[in-house]
Structure 1
């Protein structure tokens, strides 16, 4: 039996730092609540959602490189899918991003998974489910952006 492989501490630190930055880097004065850059980035229509997706996707990519189990990676991607779907709704999606801390949830999943890992050098990741989920996320964001543009066009035409 192979001894458990220790995950790269620099990679874990990078994932922890990015997760905190995206989900809880900024304390709200007078409360115990914190928000991250994710809901702030999400305020930029369409582009903000894609940037959030790229940053959050990086966390999942690094988790895969660390040797996270396939089911953990799929759960992480599904958290991101929920975040992305709801995030496409103007204003409500940004409020949801304040409460739904997908990156911190994904970090917790990763940290729960890694201690159980053995023989990580031989771990094989099937990227197909993750590619499908990320494709679905990108499609949802694209459709959400197109819907937003269409609604704005309707509003401006009605006002003209």
Structure 2
């Protein structure tokens, strides 16, 4: 481990002291957290990004559950986890999970049309009598009558007369 000594303006030092008390952490833990955040954000290209505020209300019951979790976290890990850190981690985890689900759904959609179509069915082999095909598709016998006309069964000739 290495030590780092810095000289700070009194007002900045006072702000740091207030933050340390609010978070319940040591100066070393605070400096480590800030430096780690700085280098992590620099690598991700987020160092100069603007920040936005998201505010929402929760029930008293949920608020108390969050507080209990944060207190338990501090007991177990020996470090205070702020509400902000906790909520940001929850949001980031949920967004990562949602992005993975979206990618999986998109991949499934891309594969689904191919799977649904299946192999193309070939038309059954059939022979075509070229003499009848040249005469047109009238479905008539050699004597000019259709099979239904010839048998007389259920055939009603269509006429355009009214």
Q: What TM-score do you get using the length of structure 2 for normalisation?
A: 0.29
* Relative contact order, higher structure (CA 8 A, sep 6+): 1
Query: More helix per residue: 1 or 2?
Result: 1
Greater radius of gyration (CA): 2
Give the TM-score taking structure 1 as reference length: 0.29
